[in-house]
């Protein structure tokens, strides 16, 4: 069992689309991870003021504060919590949005549509990397 599987992670899913919230839930069936949901960037940032999380998964195109603003605010606060950015967006905007997310500090990106297993693989990799980084800094 690796670090990502043994650690019970708190994961914030920031997604305005009901279908993709359901896909996120399906991705973590059988895990011990604790999921928190926000429907937009404003809700996500408010949640982060009261809740410490191990990973953030954020859509980029949402009403109110979008995912880019969420990433900017999190990195602006000097937080190194891993961030996975996702978007469907318009075909012509999808790649530029994902590139912008990476430039702002997202640790990984994923394009919609995706299967729950793809989301789980990406999040497990980010959690494992964060666990390894914690171990390196403690040594």
Q: Is residue 10 part of a domain?
A: yes
Q: Is residue 138 part of a domain?
A: no
- Domain count of the fold of the chain: 1
Contact assessment for residue 19 and residue 109, using Cβ atoms and an 8 Å cutoff: no
Cα separation values, 51 from 12, 47, 78, Å: 9, 6, 16
112 located within any domain = yes
Q: Is residue 49 part of a domain?
A: yes
13 domain-assigned? yes
- Indicate whether 11 belongs to any domain: yes
**Tell me, what's the pLDDT at 90?**
64
- Does 39 reside within a domain? yes
pTM comes to 0.90
Q: Is residue 123 part of a domain?
A: yes
| Edge-to-edge order in the sheet of strand 10-14 | 34-38, 10-14, 55-59, 83-87, 108-111
pLDDT tens over the chain, length 139 residues: 444 445 789 999 999 999 999 999 999 999 999 999 999 999 999 999 999 999 999 999 999 999 999 999 999 999 999 999 999 866 677 889 999 999 999 999 999 999 999 999 999 999 999 999 888 544 3
Q: Which domain holds residue 72?
A: 3-129
Q: Domain of 62: which CATH number? A: 3.40.50.2300
């Amino acid at each position: 069992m690796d670090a990502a599987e043994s650690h019970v992670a708190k994961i914030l899913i920031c997604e305005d689309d009901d279908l993709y919230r359901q896909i996120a839930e399906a991705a973590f069936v059988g895990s011990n991870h604790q999921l928190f949901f926000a429907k937009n960037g404003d809700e996500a940032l408010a949640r982060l003021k009261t809740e410490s999380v191990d990973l953030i998964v954020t859509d980029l195109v949402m009403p109110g504060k979008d995912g880019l603003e969420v990433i900017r605010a999190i990195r602006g606060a000097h937080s190194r919590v891993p961030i996975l950015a996702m978007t469907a967006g318009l075909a012509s905007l999808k790649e530029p949005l994902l590139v912008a997310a990476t430039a702002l500090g997202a640790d990984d990106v994923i394009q919609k549509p995706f299967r729950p297993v793809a989301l789980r693989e990406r999040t497990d990799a980010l959690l494992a990397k964060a666990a390894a980084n914690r171990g390196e800094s403690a040594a």
